[in-house]
Chain A
Amino acid sequence: GDSVTQMEGPVTLSEEAFLTINCTYTATGYPSLFWYVQYPGEGLQLLLKATKADDKGSNKGFEATYRKETTSFHLEKGSVQVSDSAVYFCALSGLVNYGQNFVFGPGTRLSVLP
């Protein structure tokens, strides 16, 4: 079945450091790919998405490019801030025989120190 693998955390960085959180997937067909973020004490919210190969999703300084050849959707940010401390989830959504399939990765906790 479809699956999402993302790097294990926690990831601890200093403010203004460069961030990469790796995400790879296995899926039949052509899924849409997402990054969701969960800030402390809050619910999940969509950070960015890409619906087809080579699409780049971007939001709040974060970027991720849908790479079909490497089945990856790595999250990057050039300069992290303390306010970026959160748990980040990579996810995919795709069509299957019976309808729609939704798979989330286990999440990566990011802590940014001042």
Chain B
Amino acid sequence: GAGVSQSPSNKVTEKGKDVELRCDPISGHTALYWYRQSLGQGLEFLIYFQGNSAPDKSGLPSDRFSAERTGGSVSTLTIQRTQQEDSAVYLCASSLDLADNEQFFGPGTRLTVL
């Protein structure tokens, strides 16, 4: 595709519900990254994938967060039992490969937990 796409663009959910956020990287990009941007804060790195593999999951804020990538393309970030502090913009980025540092960012998903 032309760029990184994310869906939904906005998600409002009730506390305790599960949500799934989707990222479509640029075609041919093998590396994919998830970040969280809370109001007034910088970007918090969550996890990256090289192909379908995520070597380190320690950046995920809690065990309610999980991410997967299948087929070396689309990735989903799942938040179970959402809490109000999960409200943020979730950004996805991709790069040609891990050695190529230039990341291309998607527009983000704004998550609001009521």
- If A99-B50, A99-B98 touch, whether A106 touches B42 (CB-CB below 8 Å) is yes
Interface string of B86-102 (1 = CB under 8 A from A): 00000101000010011
| Size bracket of the B interface | 20 to 34
Contacts of A104 in B (CB 8 A): 35, 42-45
- If A99-B50, A99-B55, A102-B48 touch, whether A46 touches B102 (CB-CB below 8 Å) is yes
Task: Mark A residues whose CB is within 8 Å of B.
Answer: 32, 34, 36, 42-46, 49, 51, 89, 91, 93, 98-107
Contacts of B44 in A (CB 8 A): 104
Indicate if B41 sits at the interface (CB-CB under 8 A). Answer: yes
- If A98-B55, A99-B48 touch, whether A46 touches B98 (CB-CB below 8 Å) is no
Task: Mark B residues whose CB is within 8 Å of A.
Answer: 4, 33, 35, 41-45, 48, 50, 55-56, 91, 93, 98, 101-108
- The answer for the CA separation of A43 and B108 in the assembled complex, in Å, is 7
